Amino acid sequence: MKAHDGNPLTNFYQLGLDVLALCLFNGSYSATEVAEFFNHYKKNYYFGGQFSVDTGAMAVLALTCVNRSLTNEQIKADKNLKKIDELISFLVEKIMSEKKENGLIGNTFSTGVAMQALFVSSNYYNESEWDCQQTLDTILQEISQGVFNNPTAAAQILPPLMGRTYLDVEDCPYVSGLDTFNISNHVPESERSNSSSLIMVYYSVVINETYSINVTVPNGSVFLDVMKAARKKNETTFGFTMEQSSWGPYITSVQGLYANNNKRTYWELLSDGKALSQGVGSYVVHEEENLEIRWSTY
């Protein structure tokens, strides 16, 4: 991070996971550096101009673990403890500000980590500020509609459904064979749609200018199918590359322009001008929808 202007090689959500893992399993880390790395409010926790609930929530979990470790060591006068305490207070306030009328916090997929963060930071807000039951009811409804079919999404929401958090992890037995275990997020076309009808959608690539095209895809197609259909029509304008992750495929480049964590650039997915919370391989498109992939910074 010091070699890249304070930016991690992945992202600040992953940095939260890193610190949490080191803290839970008694790894070597510096509380002073933790307080420093998590302290740049705007830079760390905003994504496309919007506060990133899941990034903030993961930071709360990591900082709470570090906070407890310092407290357990009876270093109550340590200046790091005060800094970390102030950081947790700030992040909890921001997370609370992202509550929606239906109980979700941020979006559907950030709510699981947000619930965990609020579970471990209950002394930083009043009980009346968050209706946990409403959030739970909404999440259960989303689950019944198949929203959490992705294993990673399910893993994030499962702990709070059981009244637990990642801080409850104490030890994990070694599981052999992980190096040969592959996660497939491909959903067969027959499972995605009960209809063979075609729909037309509008698709645009936005860099310094806008490149648009109309494409026809089977009903039930996902955003990635639209991108592939556009690429077939014009490889130069709509060509792209992607990589697989536990959340499914994500776009690494369009027109040869690659996202770069160190430069804080990425490809943002939008529908009718609004950023999507689902990935390119899971968001199901609709008739005459205006889809866009935009070169953005965070």
Write out the two tokens for 147. 């929203």
Is 298 known to sit in a ligand binding site? yes
Query: Which pLDDT tens digit goes with each residue over 44-55?
Result: 788 767 888 999
pLDDT tens for each residue of the chain, 298 residues long:
777 777 777 788 889 999 999 999 889 988 888 888 888 665 678 876 788 899 999 999 999 999 888 876 655 546 788 888 999 999 999 999 999 999 999 988 899 999 999 999 999 999 999 999 999 999 999 888 888 888 888 888 999 999 899 998 865 554 444 444 344 444 444 344 444 599 999 999 999 899 999 999 999 899 999 999 999 999 999 999 998 877 778 899 999 999 887 777 889 999 998 888 788 888 889 999 999 999 988 7
3-state DSSP: the chain helix, strand, coil percent, rounded to 5? 45, 20, 35
Is 225 known to sit in a ligand binding site? no
Is 241 known to sit in a ligand binding site? no
Is 111 known to sit in a ligand binding site? no
Is 11 known to sit in a ligand binding site? yes
Query: In whole angstroms, what is the distance from residue 204 CA to residue 124 CA?
Result: 44
Is 26 known to sit in a ligand binding site? no
Query: In whole angstroms, what is the distance from residue 296 CA to residue 277 CA?
Result: 15
Beta-bridge partner residues of 257:
254
Alpha helices in 145-241 (DSSP H): 151-161, 189-192, 223-233, 235-238
Cβ neighbours around 203 below 10 Å, total: 23
Is 268 known to sit in a ligand binding site? yes
Is 54 known to sit in a ligand binding site? yes
Please, what are the domains in the chain?
2-168 (1.50.10.20), 190-297 (2.170.130.30)
Write out the two tokens for 91. 């992040």
Residues in Cβ contact with 16 at an 8 Å cutoff, skipping those fewer than 6 apart: 38, 55, 58, 59, 61, 62
Whether the model clears a pTM of 0.95, i.e. scores above it, the answer is no
Is 283 known to sit in a ligand binding site? no
Is 198 known to sit in a ligand binding site? no
Is 148 known to sit in a ligand binding site? no
pLDDT value of residue 194 = 46
